[in-house]
Amino acid sequence: MIKISPMKEEHIPRIHEIEKSCFSISWSKEAFENELKENSLAYYIVAESEDAVLGYAGMWIIVDEGHITNIAVHPDFQHQGVGTLLMQHLIDEAKRKHFFGLTLEVRESNIKAQNLYRKFGFVSEGLRKGYYQDTGENAIIMWKYFK
């Protein structure tokens, strides 16, 4: 059984492993520590099964909207509904807080992620040219509106 719970400091080593396995530019352990300890706008969750972290997601709460910063599932647990559970939890939290909407950036080439977001009602609203430093790839700005 998969459980969604708040991210804690003890999750960070595993989260950092997942981050490195999923992204060409990964956040550092210190970045995650800073999000938990210093960023009052941060909301982060983990998906766990039998004390193993399978994935994580996070967003920044900015007035009446959420900016999804990360969502990742360890490659060994992808295509098993973990990403869907994480995304649904972020959406449920956004609705609970009466957000106007949720936004995120996604690589133009990351069709798998775009399809997940579209499944939840996100739509493409713009482009950030050269957004990703490693390749200069564009980011698609996606939004899900609640009102």
Q: How many domains does the chain have?
A: 1
Amino acid at 139: A
pLDDT confidence of 69, banded at 50, 70, 90? very high
* Residue 127 CB contacts under 8 Å (≥ 6 apart), including other chains: 108, 138, 139, 140, 141
Is 47 exposed, middle or buried, given 0-12, 13-18 or 19+ CB atoms closer than 10 A?
Answer: buried
Residues 13-28: tens digit of each pLDDT: 999 999 999 988 889 9
Tokens 């790839």, residue?
137
How far apart, in whole angstroms, are the C-alpha atoms of residue 8 and residue 61? Answer: 18
How far apart, in whole angstroms, are the C-alpha atoms of residue 147 and residue 143? Answer: 12
Q: Strand pairing partners for 67?
A: 60, 103
pLDDT confidence of 51, banded at 50, 70, 90? confident
The phi, psi pair for 31, rounded to 5°, reads -65, -40
Tokens read off for 84: 């869907």
pLDDT confidence of 56, banded at 50, 70, 90? very high
- pLDDT for the residue numbered 105: 96
Average of per-residue pLDDT values in the chain: 95
- pLDDT for the residue numbered 71: 95
Enumerate the active-site residues.
105, 117
What range defines the domain where residue 39 resides? 3-145
- pLDDT for the residue numbered 147: 72
pLDDT confidence of 60, banded at 50, 70, 90? very high
pLDDT at 107 over 90: yes
pLDDT confidence of 101, banded at 50, 70, 90? very high
- pLDDT for the residue numbered 23: 87
pLDDT confidence of 41, banded at 50, 70, 90? very high
The CATH number of whichever domain residue 10 belongs to comes to 3.40.630.30
Is-above-0.85 flag for pTM?
yes
Tell which phi-psi region holds residue 62, choosing left (phi > 0), alpha (psi between -120 and 50) or beta.
Answer: beta
